[in-house]
A and B are shown apart, each in its own frame.
Chain A
Amino acid sequence: MNENVIVSDPPSAGPLMHEDLELLHEVALLTPGDSHLEMCIQCGTCGGSCPSGSAMDHTPRAIFAMLRAGMREEVMKSNTPWMCVSCYYCTVRCPQDIHITDVMYTLKNMALKSKMFQDTTASDFSKTFISYVENYGRSFEIGLAGIHNVTHLRLAVRLPNMVPMALGMLTKKGMSPLPPKRIKGMNDLKKILKRAKELEAA
């Protein structure tokens, strides 16, 4: 397991130097629409609501405080956005109407680009997910979970507690263990994705 993520860096000596005051603004700008990120009052509703909160090295609220404090490296290395399961609890409950889930996506993006995030499991999970969408035009939960766990050789370690979830997925209506059918208009989707990538690169 990657130490950088699980164990937080030992606190560096001395106070934080406020060199990176643009960070918060940068994240807000990179988030589509108006995320209201600057309006966070640090109430903790998001952190309290988050089903992944206990697995995160920093709660979403703490991440927003760190953005404000310009702690770029710590945020980029954090597992928080990768633990986000996009449940939108936080966003619905946030008293300041901050688009927290959207910001989590922005942070993932920034972390990948900056190459600062060092635990590859979570980002690969996203990549596997995207590759299904790119190839089939839809997501495929079983394949995603399988491939992800196989490529990360975690199956053996995680198997016992994953079994109930896997069984649950298999018996749930709508979740087929077979690879998905390609959607109609796959070519069009590819064009859309290609254009999106171009736009992102620009």
Chain B
Amino acid sequence: MSAQENKPKERVGVYVCHCGTNIAGVVNVGEVSKWASDNMKDEGVVISRDYKFMCSSLGQELIQKDIKEQKLTRVVVGACSPHLHERTFRNACKGAGLNPYLCELVSIREQDSWVHTDKIAATEKAKAIISGGVARVIHHEALEPLHVPIHPATLIVGGGIAGIQAALEIADAGFPVYLVEREPSIGGHMAQFDKTFPTLDCSACILTPKMVDVGNHKNITMLTYSEVQKVDGYVGNFAVTIKKRARYVKTEDCTGCGICWEKCPKKVIDDKFEAGIGYRKAVYTPFPQAVPKYPVIDDINCTYFVKGTCKACEKFCPTNAIDFTQKDEIMTVEVGNIILATGWDLFDARRVPNYGYGRLANVFTNMEFERMSNSAGPTGGNIVLRDGKTPPKSVGIVHCVGSRDKNYNNYCSAICCMQSLKFAHLVHEKTGATVYNFYIDIRTPAKGYDEFYQRIIEEGTLFVRGKVAEVTDAARNPGEEGKLIIQVEDTLVGKQRRIPVDMVILSAGLEPRSDSKALAKTFGISCSADGWFIERHPKLDPVATMTEGVYIAGCVQGPKDIPASVAQGAAAAARILGKIQQKEIALEPVRATIHEEQCSGCRICNTMCPFNAILFHEDKMVSEVNPALCQGCGTCVAACPAGAITGTGFSNEQILSQIDGLLLLTLDKKETVPSGS
């Protein structure tokens, strides 16, 4: 493309930011600014400046003053990534009466000064990047944001402590909530625990009042034993399809009296709530304080469903609430926003063969221990060996099982240190046994946590610094006979030790839910390589996601304790309340459009869109983009073989001009492409 011959039709201002020394330390910003005004007059550059911090109010005022005095029609800022300050500069332009979409922010920091050390080459590259921005901005159009109304209801998926907190915050503010929980009761993992660190208050005592509030709240519709199947729509207007599994119990008639599960002859090992060390019946509520109080019949194990006879529950139910004919129900609800709070799964300790779980009877997992220590649990709160009666005289608690380990999960599970200290206390208190904690590092950074550690040391727990190498029952001397031997290097002594104990508790780590990737796909959000859901910004936006209207709270975002999960639940609720109160939402107008007459109906774009924004009209055999769902990523634009899709804000013209600009092809031939940077 040759340099434009006609008089430039736009008046462009170029602003080069120093970002302190972030950019100016590598790029000669003065030179870049001067180069732009000297060399891009033909492109329409009428003014070019450099400034220490363009994003400061003084920097923004500089741009606004120029827009007014120089009658600028386009603005190019060379600074940081658009993720950071695109909105700042657009708003500055808007403040001076220029349509915000006529401003282009190009990154000479992330894409230049931060990744290069050669100052001369980096300066040349900055010129090219600015030139690309100028060439592109000329083709920008004035755009208006899309305004859509917000449905005041919120969907919360997962009724653990994070979801419960969020539900109560929103409902208390007067807005409707649908709380979808997969299990027969809300409560999540917290309902299984005995005491909670660091204060050791009884978990049920602090949790159940909140569960009861949820159950009674006029603004909360609880959908337990249910799962989300499909999500359509977009922020402000989601349509969510939910499957309510058949309970085989008429909740209108059931009083929760418990006669059915008393009479039910079918015992089932409860590997969910009782972590595999206790039983439930085929008709059951997971625990006495369950909310809602109505049981469910587990149709996989129920004798009637398996053999066709029994119906003991039906016979004895005083209110005739049992109904074997119930079917799964599918329902659709409309909501404006969504919070995902589906929590975590326990790392499967069988995966570490050298720790012997599943092979050595008296190796327990942390969840088994929680149930054992809980007075409502299978042992009535007695800490005993697998035989169900012998209290241990010595117990070894192994930290970091499956965590901080490249063979399993790289990350720290964040709660295991505190949980192991809590266990040390409980064992001491209930059995008087000798307790060892085997750790790599003790991590107790939150409020009151290190004080708790001090307390446990004082109580006499023995700490051995070393990651356990193996747990074995192969005795080497008479003292080890009949014991579990923990082999470890005591790294503070620098010697191998073999410590015989009666019981080993493995502090297995937290993992993303096994179905987390599928769930992320349903809601159009992304998960990290580990499977935790990714927040919009790790520091500044921890509960939002990259998908507008979808928020995350609690362990679904990463391992954390109860206080942090509660804080996130409340934070997500506050974000949503802020949105609901605005009644409508402004969406970025940067969207893809499919030109119907060019679309061949091949449907290639349909599956490629990461936000499920493209629908297909079977009648017309053409695809259409839902502008409220589209995030303007451009995937479909590039994928369409017929070239039928254009993206507002990223038209072919804009992209090709920017490339020409980057290659300095838009300028006079006297400038050559910088070499070797």
Report which A residues bind B (CB closer than 8 A): 41-50, 53-54, 58-59, 61-62, 89, 93, 95-97
Q: Once the chains bind, are A47 and B406 in contact (CB under 8 Å)? A: no
Q: Once the chains bind, are A47 and B405 in contact (CB under 8 Å)? A: no
| 21 pairs from A and B in contact (CB 8 Å cutoff) | A41-B440, A42-B491, A44-B489, A44-B490, A44-B491, A45-B489, A48-B467, A48-B468, A48-B496, A49-B487, A50-B496, A59-B495, A59-B496, A61-B491, A62-B491, A89-B469, A93-B354, A95-B400, A95-B407, A96-B406, A97-B407
Q: Once the chains bind, are A43 and B440 in contact (CB under 8 Å)? A: yes
Q: Known A43-B440, A53-B489; judge A59-B494 contact (CB<8 A).
A: yes
Q: Once the chains bind, are A49 and B469 in contact (CB under 8 Å)? A: yes
B482 CB to closest chain A CB (Å) equals 22
B605 within 8 A of partner (CB): no
A20 CB to closest chain B CB (Å) equals 20
B650 CB to closest chain A CB (Å) equals 40
Q: Known A41-B440, A95-B407, A97-B406; judge A48-B494 contact (CB<8 A).
A: no
5 tightest Cβ-Cβ pairs between the two chains A and B? A48-B469, A47-B489, A44-B489, A95-B405, A44-B466
B119 within 8 A of partner (CB): no
Chain B residues, CB < 8 A from A58: 494
Q: Known A61-B489, A62-B494, A93-B407; judge A49-B466 contact (CB<8 A).
A: no
B470 within 8 A of partner (CB): yes
A148 CB to closest chain B CB (Å) equals 25
Q: With the chains together, A97 CA to B490 CA distance in Å?
A: 20
Q: Once the chains bind, are A48 and B404 in contact (CB under 8 Å)? A: no
Chain A residues, CB < 8 A from B468: 45, 48
Q: With the chains together, A49 CA to B354 CA distance in Å?
A: 10
Chain A residues, CB < 8 A from B405: 95
Closest to B468 in A: A48
Q: With the chains together, A49 CA to B488 CA distance in Å?
A: 7
Closest to A96 in B: B406
Chain A residues, CB < 8 A from B490: 44
Q: With the chains together, A89 CA to B416 CA distance in Å?
A: 26
A81 CB to closest chain B CB (Å) equals 16
Q: Once the chains bind, are B406 and A45 in contact (CB under 8 Å)? A: no
A5 CB to closest chain B CB (Å) equals 16
Chain A residues, CB < 8 A from B491: 42-44, 47, 59, 61-62
B465 within 8 A of partner (CB): yes
Q: With the chains together, A58 CA to B494 CA distance in Å?
A: 7
A93 CB to closest chain B CB (Å) equals 7
Chain A residues, CB < 8 A from B489: 44-48, 53, 59, 61
Chain B residues, CB < 8 A from A46: 489
Q: With the chains together, A32 CA to B466 CA distance in Å?
A: 28
Chain A residues, CB < 8 A from B354: 49, 93
Q: With the chains together, A54 CA to B495 CA distance in Å?
A: 7
Chain B residues, CB < 8 A from A41: 404, 440
Task: Output the residue of A41, A44, A59, A62 with the most chain B CB within 10 A.
Answer: A44
Q: With the chains together, A118 CA to B490 CA distance in Å?
A: 28
B487 CB to closest chain A CB (Å) equals 6
Q: Once the chains bind, are B467 and A95 in contact (CB under 8 Å)? A: yes
Q: Once the chains bind, are B495 and A44 in contact (CB under 8 Å)? A: no
Q: Once the chains bind, are A49 and B407 in contact (CB under 8 Å)? A: no
Q: With the chains together, A105 CA to B467 CA distance in Å?
A: 24
Q: Known A43-B467, A59-B496, A97-B406; judge A48-B487 contact (CB<8 A).
A: yes
A179 CB to closest chain B CB (Å) equals 36
Number of interface residues, chain B, beta carbon within 8 A: 21
Q: Known A53-B489, A59-B489, A61-B489; judge A43-B466 contact (CB<8 A).
A: yes
Task: Output the residue of A48, A50, A54, A58 with the most chain B CB within 10 A.
Answer: A48
Chain B residues, CB < 8 A from A54: 495-496
Q: Once the chains bind, are A48 and B466 in contact (CB under 8 Å)? A: yes
Q: With the chains together, A44 CA to B493 CA distance in Å?
A: 11
Task: Output the residue of B354, B407, B491 with the most chain A CB within 10 A.
Answer: B491
Q: With the chains together, A93 CA to B469 CA distance in Å?
A: 8
Q: Once the chains bind, are B469 and A45 in contact (CB under 8 Å)? A: yes
B485 CB to closest chain A CB (Å) equals 12
Contact of A95 among B406, B465, B496 (CB under 8 A): B406
Q: With the chains together, A45 CA to B354 CA distance in Å?
A: 11
Q: Using a CB-CB cutoff of 8 Å, which residues 346-396 of chain B contact chain A?
A: 354
Chain B residues, CB < 8 A from A49: 354, 469-470, 487
Task: Output the residue of B354, B466, B468, B489 with the most chain A CB within 10 A.
Answer: B489
Encode contact with A along B271-282: 1 for CB under 8 Å, 0 otherwise: 000000000000
Q: With the chains together, A76 CA to B214 CA distance in Å?
A: 67
B585 CB to closest chain A CB (Å) equals 46
Q: Known A93-B407, A96-B406; judge A45-B494 contact (CB<8 A).
A: no
A9 CB to closest chain B CB (Å) equals 15
A35 CB to closest chain B CB (Å) equals 14
Q: Once the chains bind, are B467 and A44 in contact (CB under 8 Å)? A: yes
Q: Once the chains bind, are A48 and B470 in contact (CB under 8 Å)? A: yes
Closest to A49 in B: B469
Q: Once the chains bind, are A47 and B470 in contact (CB under 8 Å)? A: no
Q: With the chains together, A76 CA to B362 CA distance in Å?
A: 43
Q: Once the chains bind, are B488 and A44 in contact (CB under 8 Å)? A: yes
Chain A residues, CB < 8 A from B495: 54, 59
Q: With the chains together, A48 CA to B405 CA distance in Å?
A: 16
Encode contact with A along B473-502: 1 for CB under 8 Å, 0 otherwise: 000000000000001111100111000000
Encode contact with A along B492-514: 1 for CB under 8 Å, 0 otherwise: 00111000000000000000000
Q: With the chains together, A53 CA to B490 CA distance in Å?
A: 12
Closest to A52 in B: B496
Q: With the chains together, A47 CA to B493 CA distance in Å?
A: 11
Closest to B470 in A: A49
Chain A residues, CB < 8 A from B407: 93, 95, 97
Q: Using a CB-CB cutoff of 8 Å, which residues 489-541 of chain B contact chain A?
A: 489-491, 494-496
A13 CB to closest chain B CB (Å) equals 21
Q: With the chains together, A27 CA to B76 CA distance in Å?
A: 51
B193 CB to closest chain A CB (Å) equals 27
Q: With the chains together, A47 CA to B469 CA distance in Å?
A: 8
Closest to B410 in A: A95
Chain B residues, CB < 8 A from A61: 489, 491
Q: With the chains together, A45 CA to B466 CA distance in Å?
A: 7
Chain B residues, CB < 8 A from A95: 400, 404-407, 467
In addition to A44-B490, A62-B494, 15 A-B residue pairs with Cβ atoms within 8 Å of each other are: A42-B440, A44-B440, A46-B489, A47-B496, A48-B466, A48-B487, A48-B489, A49-B470, A54-B495, A58-B494, A59-B494, A62-B491, A89-B469, A95-B400, A95-B467
B668 CB to closest chain A CB (Å) equals 49
Chain A residues, CB < 8 A from B467: 43-45, 48, 95
B502 CB to closest chain A CB (Å) equals 20
Closest to B486 in A: A48
Q: With the chains together, A49 CA to B495 CA distance in Å?
A: 11
Q: With the chains together, A123 CA to B490 CA distance in Å?
A: 29
Closest to A89 in B: B469
Q: With the chains together, A126 CA to B468 CA distance in Å?
A: 31
Q: With the chains together, A97 CA to B469 CA distance in Å?
A: 15
Chain B residues, CB < 8 A from A97: 406-407
Contact of B465 among A44, A53, A59, A93 (CB under 8 A): A44
Closest to B487 in A: A48
Q: With the chains together, A169 CA to B494 CA distance in Å?
A: 33
Encode contact with A along B436-478: 1 for CB under 8 Å, 0 otherwise: 0000100000000000000000000000011111100000000
Q: With the chains together, A58 CA to B493 CA distance in Å?
A: 10
Q: With the chains together, A105 CA to B490 CA distance in Å?
A: 25
Chain B residues, CB < 8 A from A42: 440, 491
Q: With the chains together, A59 CA to B406 CA distance in Å?
A: 21
Q: With the chains together, A61 CA to B491 CA distance in Å?
A: 8
Chain B residues, CB < 8 A from A47: 466, 469, 489, 491, 494, 496
Q: With the chains together, A46 CA to B354 CA distance in Å?
A: 13
Q: With the chains together, A61 CA to B467 CA distance in Å?
A: 11
Q: With the chains together, A158 CA to B468 CA distance in Å?
A: 33
